[in-house]
Amino acid sequence: MTGPEESPCRILVMASGFGSNFQALIDAISTGQLRNSHIISLITNRRNAHAIVRADEAGIPWDYFNPISNGFLRKGERDEQILAEGRQKYDAALAARILSTDKERPELIILAGWMHVFSGAFLEPIERARIRIINIHPALPGEFDGIMAIERAFEEFKTGRLTRTGIMAHYVIDEVDKGAPIKVKEIEWEGEELEELKERMHFHEHELIVQATAKVALEIVEGRERKPRDVQNP
């Protein structure tokens, strides 16, 4: 258990869209359901993301950082090598922005509908800084990695090859949706159509992201006491 003197885990949320998972975290913290946690800021890569409105309403500072608007890529670029190089530079700059000494540094990054796959240029400096990154994905471990996971599961339901899917919160590594699971929830198909299934999956995503955040935030806060010893005795 953490003592009353412990400060909460500093969390950075990254979101690209509507921000319903972001809102679930805001609500859980405000009601006391999610303890040991404080959202220090939001980063978005889309200027019209509704997550920005949610941040403003909650009094959470936000930052807009986009590979095209910030000059890392030209709009409409199709050359694969140029795209890869631009994304690497964007990732490196974004990591540097997060780790900047003139800002409050997070201890945990939560990808809550973040529509960008990170390369090692982002992940490696964040890992060296001992900042954990977690993501929510609407599929079970090892099933339907990547985009359109709910749609792909639904196609399997219709053929009779599957009767269940699920959701996982997992650590982020350089392989898409392959990081170690933190929390997993299996969901049976109830015969509904795709849109109804999506709605039900999103409802459970909100629960799972709060549960996973609670688990990891507590580990971070409790681990602070051990970190000095680890540094002294590498």
**Mind telling me the catalytic residues?**
137
Give the C-alpha separation, 74 to 17, whole Å. Answer: 22
Sheet with 181-188, side-by-side order of all strands? 62-64, 37-44, 9-14, 108-111, 132-137, 164-171, 181-188
Give the C-alpha separation, 2 to 7, whole Å. Answer: 9
Cβ–Cβ under 8 Å, residues 176 and 117:
yes
Query: Residue 105: which of 59, 41, 44 has the closest Cα?
Result: 41
DSSP states of 183-217 as a string? EEEEEE--S--HHHHHHHHHHHHHHHHHHHHHHHH
Tell me the β-bridge partners of 133.
109
Output the CA angle 36-114-105, nearest 5 degrees.
45
